[in-house]
Structure 1
């Protein structure tokens, strides 16, 4: 099976700075939503799996809890370590095979991380394994076709180039865990109890000035990579048309937040 870009740590190392600047402020809003559904205290140990730039880990640290942030990208881990307070540790680690003991954490989170794993079932099982009985597993997943620029590109590409529709797709885990029933069943299969699942919507605010450098804005999306230069020009023009006179184009993005006991 051919490895996808999102499965390669080097891809995320290269994208770390851009991700921290653009995606991190957006995903932080959903991380805060996840934290609002649990109670963390200073005596708790918290795990953030596939932490990215640390949206959840850094927010959880404000509760005083001891937080371990893990990611398979050294570049992402370095970003977390550079801004982490004393109660946050950041380590390079594969979320599908956590180098951690059983039942060592009071709560394990993954904010749009496990959904990207080649073996997302193993990722969920590892979260359950390292969570103590009675502890919590918290997962954020994207609904439907993803979020932010990925969602916008999917919608525009389907409208402008319908014959191309279906040639690229979201990771299997993002599709499966974007359905509430599948999400609930998958967490139960992994070893958690049936979760409470909430739907949360926030706008990704696309600064229209970023369209001057569309490769930086859209380059991580497979829907962009699949287009030729002429098609990309059409996409940029369509986004400008949608924005009209606005300086910011809001892209409503829907997530599922699941909270389950171990």
Structure 2
């Protein structure tokens, strides 16, 4: 099988709701606490009240939706994965509703929300421009849209694994980031795409937090790296080499910090 075809198959896994249904519990334990830091940063840039109507598009396990709910806003969280939606619903917050919905075709009225967020969600869509346009469509005039994306090499264990693969196996093709991530990695391009989608006056900030990898978690590397096709495609000997490299990088530290930079855009409707 050609490398390009293999990469295409691996990327399609990220577009498959079944993949995310199976990953939901793992995602909630590992990714959710980290992405929540960026969600809380984004919320800190938007004034919400108990009357605010908030939409979280491609909500995952609800890092943004649940944080907005704790602020008292009326929140609808949507995701195409029933497994992800179930994890949000399990929080049983009375002001947070969760529904299965395709963010590229939101089953929602025009101009029905005061603030519409997507924290590392829309950027994963096959038609991410349609996702941005749908966000703008359902935002009321004077409301705001907030979109977070990673830089081109991703974040956390995805970023670390990519760095190590390029060092240990430079001749091998690694995971190509989704088109939306690549297209929005430059702040100027990001701003232009938001305007094209129907927003105005976008402001974009670089936000970096450390993902602290617990070195003890290397005892179960499939749990640590298992969500990445870059890990699943490695042979056992190569996986052992990756683990050795992480241990070398950590040295005597019990946690290895992985600085991960996001672009967070806030734009008016």
Q: Which runs of 5+ in 1 are unaligned?
A: none
What CA deviation, in whole Å up to 9, does each residue of 1:43-92 have, x standing for no partner? 11000000001000011112211000000000110000010311100000
**1:140 aligned partner:** 148
TM-score (normalizing by structure 1): 0.97
Residue 215 of structure 1 pairs with residue 236 of structure 2? no
Q: Please tell me the root mean square deviation across aligned C-alpha atoms, in Å.
A: 1.1
Alpha-carbon distance, 1:194 to partner: 3.2
**1:234 aligned partner:** 241
What CA deviation, in whole Å up to 9, does each residue of 1:19-65 have, x standing for no partner? 00010000000000000111001111000000001000011112211
**2:250 aligned partner:** 243
Q: Which whole-Å CA distance do the structure 2 matches of 1:214 and 1:62 have between them?
A: 34
Residue 252 of structure 1 pairs with residue 240 of structure 2? no
**1:224 aligned partner:** 231
Trace 1:95-174 onto structure 2 (pairs within 5 A).
Answer: 95-164=103-172, 166-174=173-181
Alpha-carbon distance, 1:144 to partner: 3.0
Task: Check conservation: 1:47, 1:107, Cα contact below 8 A.
Answer: yes
**1:17 aligned residue (6, 19, 25):** 25
Which 10-residue stretch deviates more, 213-222 or 70-79?
213-222
SS in 2 for 1:194: strand
**1:31 aligned residue (9, 15, 39):** 39
Residue 47 of structure 1 pairs with residue 55 of structure 2? yes
Q: Which runs of 5+ in 2 are unaligned?
A: 1-7
SS in 2 for 1:106: strand
**1:90 aligned partner:** 98
Q: Which whole-Å CA distance do the structure 2 matches of 1:158 and 1:20 have between them?
A: 28
Q: Which whole-Å CA distance do the structure 1 matches of 2:183 and 2:222 have between them?
A: 29
Residue 191 of structure 1 pairs with residue 198 of structure 2? yes
Alpha-carbon distance, 1:176 to partner: 1.1
Q: Which whole-Å CA distance do the structure 2 matches of 1:9 and 1:141 have between them?
A: 20
Q: Which whole-Å CA distance do the structure 1 matches of 2:137 and 2:245 have between them?
A: 47
TM-score (normalizing by structure 2): 0.95
Q: Which whole-Å CA distance do the structure 2 matches of 1:115 and 1:64 have between them?
A: 27
Alpha-carbon distance, 1:167 to partner: 4.2
Task: Check conservation: 1:185, 1:194, Cα contact below 8 A.
Answer: no
SS in 2 for 1:95: coil
Task: Check conservation: 1:58, 1:84, Cα contact below 8 A.
Answer: no
Q: Which whole-Å CA distance do the structure 2 matches of 1:226 and 1:158 have between them?
A: 14
Task: Check conservation: 2:162, 2:174, Cα contact below 8 A.
Answer: no
